[in-house]
Amino acid sequence: MATVLPGTTSGVPGEAFTIPLPVLMYHSVGDSVSADFRRWEVPPAAFAEQLGALAASGYHLTGLTDALAHPHRRQVAITFDDAFDDFISTALPALQTAGASATLYLPTAFAGRRATWLDGYSERNLPLLDWPDLAALAGEGVELGTHGHRHLELDVVPTAIARYDVTASRRAIEEKTGRSPDSFSYPFGYHCASVRHVVAAAGFDSACEIGYRLHQPVESRFAISRLVVDRTAGSEEILQMVEHGHRDALAGARRGLRSGWRAYRVARRRLGRGA
C-alpha cells in the first residue's frame, strides 16, 4: 500500500472525492451507562431508527475504507470507536438488518480486557471484544481499524512513543487476524502534523478525528472529520446531520478551541511529569 502524506486526498493518482462524505461516529449501543457517559451511547431503538432512515433515503451504509474507494456513491460511512463488546450483541444485529457495514476501531492493548483508560468513569469496567470475536467480525465484512495501542493522547507524547503506539496497534491486528488495517482513529480525536505523519508512515491509508462536520473533498485523508451521533437523534435529525453536519454553535466553538485545549494538555502532561 502506498504511503499517503497528510494534505493529500488519495492514494491513487488523480482520484479524489467529488462530494462531501458524512462519517458517523459511535461508541456504544445500549442503555446502561452512567449519565456522564451518555453522550457516547445510543440506545438500541434509536440506532435502529437512524439506520433505517438512512437506508430508506437511499444511502449506502458502509465502513470508511469502502466509502473512500467509491467517492461518487450516495453513502454514509459508519464508524465505532473502542470496540466495546456490545457491538456484537446490539450494534451488529441492527447493522445486518439494515444491510449496513461499519469500521470498528480497536485500542489493541485492551482487546478482551476492560476500558481502564476511562479514568473517572464507571465505564472503565466496560469489556472490550476479544481477538477471536474480532477475527470473526473481520471475516463477516466488518472493517477492523486501530485506535492506537494504549489509547494515548498521541499529540502530547514524544514522537517516538507515538510511533511505537501506532505501529504496535497495526502489528497486533495483523498478527491476531491476518489482516492489515487500512484506517486509524486518533484516540480522543487528538492529532497534530507529526502524529499524522507517523500514521501515514506506518502504512495506514486514512485516519479519523472528530471534527463535527462533513469530510470535504479538499481535506486530508489523515484528518477525516466525523459527526457525533446524539442518543436523541431520530429519523429527521440523522438525515439533517448527514446532509449538513453539525449546525449548532457548540460544535463550532469546540473546533475553535482546539489549539488552546492542546496547549493546556501539553502543560498538564509536563506538570505531571515534573511531579
CATH number at residue 107: 3.20.20.370
Residue pLDDT, tens place only, 175-191: 999 999 999 999 999 99
pLDDT at 261 over 90: no
Query: Looking at the DSSP assignment, which residues form a beta bridge with residue 29?
Result: 42
Residue 151 to residue 146: CA distance in whole angstroms: 10
**Residue 185: closest CA among 213, 144, 241, 126:** 144
In a domain, 2, yes or no: no
Question: In the prediction, which pLDDT does 266 show?
Answer: 57
Strand ranges (E), the chain: 23-26, 28-29, 41-42, 60-62, 75-81, 103-106, 143-146, 183-185, 206-211, 224-228
- Look at residue 13 and tell me if it is in a domain: no
pLDDT at 217: 85
pLDDT, residue 254, reads 54
165 or 13, which is more confident? Answer: 165
Assess contact for 27 and 151: CB atoms under 8 A: no
Domain-located, residue 3? no
186-203 burial: b if 16+ Cβ within 10 Å, else e: bbbbbbbeebbbbbbebb
Where in the sequence is the domain holding 63, given as residue range(s)?
A: 23-274
End-to-end CA distance of the chain: 43
DSSP state of 219: S
Q: Is residue 129 part of a domain?
A: yes
Q: Is 5 among the domain residues?
A: no
Please state whether the predicted TM-score (pTM) of the whole model is above 0.85. yes
Give a yes or no: residue 10 inside a domain.
no
Q: What's the confidence (pLDDT) of residue 271?
A: 63
Return the closest-CA partner of residue 228 out of 48, 85, 91, 81: 81
- Residue 238's alpha-carbon distances to 11, 117, 215, 234, 244, in angstroms, are 30, 30, 16, 6, 10
pLDDT at 10 over 80: no
Mean residue pLDDT across the chain: 89
User: What are the pLDDT digits (tens) for 130-157?
Assistant: 999 999 999 999 999 999 999 999 999 9
Q: Rounded to an integer, what distance in angstroms lies between the CA atom of residue 232 and that of residue 34?
A: 16
The pLDDT assigned to 3 comes to: 41
How many structural domains compose the chain? 1
Unique residue bearing C-alpha cell 469489556 = 127
Cell of residue 259, nine digits? 489549539
Query: Is 6 inside a domain boundary?
Result: no
Helix axes of 131-139 and 159-177: crossing angle, nearest 10 degrees: 70
Q: What is the pLDDT of residues 43-84, one digit of tens each?
A: 999 999 999 999 999 999 999 999 999 999 999 999 999 999
Would you say residue 65 lies in a domain?
A: yes
